[in-house]
Amino acid sequence: MDLIGSGFLTIFSFVFLISIVVVIHELGHYWAGRVCGVHAEAFSMGFGPTLVSWRDKHGTVWRIASLPLGGYVKFLGDAGAASEPDADKLAQLRAQMGEAADRCYHFKPIWQRAFITAAGPIANFILAIVIFASLVLTLGNRELQPVVGAVVPDSAAAEAGIEVGDRFVSIDGRDVNTFNDIMRMVISGGSSELDVVIERDGSQLPLQIIAQRNTVEDEFGGSRRLPQLGVQAYSDPIIGGVVQDSPADRAGFESGDRIVAVDGVPVRSFQQFSNRIDGPAERVEVEVLRDGDTRIIRTDVGPPGEEAGTTSPAFTRLGLVSTGLMVDYRRFNPIEAVGYGVQQTGAVVSTTVDYVGNIVTGRASPELLNGPLGIATAAGQVAQRSIDGHDNAFNAARSLLINLINLAGVLSVGLGLVNLLPIPILDGGHLVYYAYEAVARRPLSMKAQALGFRVGLVFVLGMMLVATWNDLNYLLGQIF
């Protein structure tokens, strides 16, 4: 795809994601306000000049603005996003509003104001559950099994004694159900020691592992430093295909051959076989099992191809394709799908909380924090990966929609969590103010609220600077 097309795809994907998660967040505030009898003066989808607007029967002005980057809801009496009035200001405001004060947000009981405030993040969590549940209900779920197919030499996994064929059972007491769970838990764990339980030959073995931080390059030319164990997912050592006129084809390999050993050294997975031939040898001796008989095939090994590092050496140097990774496919009924949605949302929450906690304690680097620029980059990459390799526009569009919706679910959880942080400028900060008011039986003073707003603003801007720095470092790494 050319640069213009790629840029348009990135912008479209970013706007699609932000519009969904932010508008749903604000709709959460809006509907909670309606339930509590608070009048919403305006609800805007987007920012900037108004393109279209209308007034509903409740008197709320709905508008679609020219910059589709989220939205906002304005309740009766709102003067700004910083804080609420103190007792004196509230008295003045009630006198000015008269009977309309009964529909003003500021004069509602504490529990109603807290409910309206928390409804935004709650709406984000509900959206994530709905997205995850809907996807598995309609498409089913393909889960990559947490079985080790290869262990990188001198890695954390190698030092801990992990072997090919081991199945991860849990990490730090949390169940591991998929191979992606391993990566997610290791990244959130940072440099802390992980209590890992693996299953080997029917027995469970406890291990302690500290992940190594490695620079990992992706297919887009960027790189990040990530904590890694040094394990690869498992696929059976069975040949799924042979490229015509390749070294393997000329040597006599056939689909269905089970690879037993390379140069006399046994192999237990296709990844292990592939790694064994990725060396200086120009000719190898492969033992295979075919139709119950063992035979030896001697084959030349071609030079590494241009795809080396992103494609299996078995493919680039021999022309062999595996039968695929160990994947379980499962269909869900509606109840199971909702349960899965809740489980996935909880997993994202748990991972994010662990990661932030490890940043605070110094056990994880904040370099994985991303801002709007990073979200846009990720959206564009997901979109690009979705449309590559499809032979028609319908399949490409279908893949793009599915993957963007799934990413919206993850992003929605992140937005909900960020807004619950106890920072005055965010929803979580307002909840802290309400907790104080409930205990002290009076609102916090305007001076204290203003100070809290300034501190919160500085903190949020600081986080944005760190996130933007990370985003720029990644993008510059793609160029230089």
Distances in Å between the Cα of 379 and the Cα atoms of 223, 226, 365 are: 17, 20, 23
β pairing state of 141-144 and 327-330: antiparallel
What's the rounded Cα separation, in Å, for the pair 410 and 131?
Answer: 9
The residues pairing with 295 across neighbouring beta strands, listed in sequence order, are: 288
Cβ partners under 8 Å of residue 57, min gap 6: none
What's the rounded Cα separation, in Å, for the pair 115 and 35?
Answer: 10
What's the rounded Cα separation, in Å, for the pair 35 and 13?
Answer: 33
Phi-psi region of 144 (alpha: psi -120 to 50; beta: other; left: phi over 0): beta
Phi, psi angle pair for 342, to nearest 5°: -65, -45
**DSSP letters for 113-158:** HHHHHHHHHHHHHHHHHHHHHHHHHHH-EEEE--BEEEE-TTSHHH
Roughly how many angstroms between the first and final C-alpha of the chain, as a whole number? Answer: 21
What's the rounded Cα separation, in Å, for the pair 387 and 389?
Answer: 6
Q: Which secondary structure element, helix H or strand E, spans residue 34, and what is its range?
A: helix 3-35
Q: Judge whether 26 counts as a catalytic residue.
A: yes
Distances in Å between the Cα of 213 and the Cα atoms of 112, 156, 185, 207, 358 are: 46, 10, 14, 19, 15
Q: CB of 28 within 8 A of CB of 120?
A: yes
H helix intervals, 140-234: 156-160, 179-189
State the catalytic residue, choosing from 26, 199, 287, 306: 26
Query: Which positions are annotated as active-site residues?
Result: 26
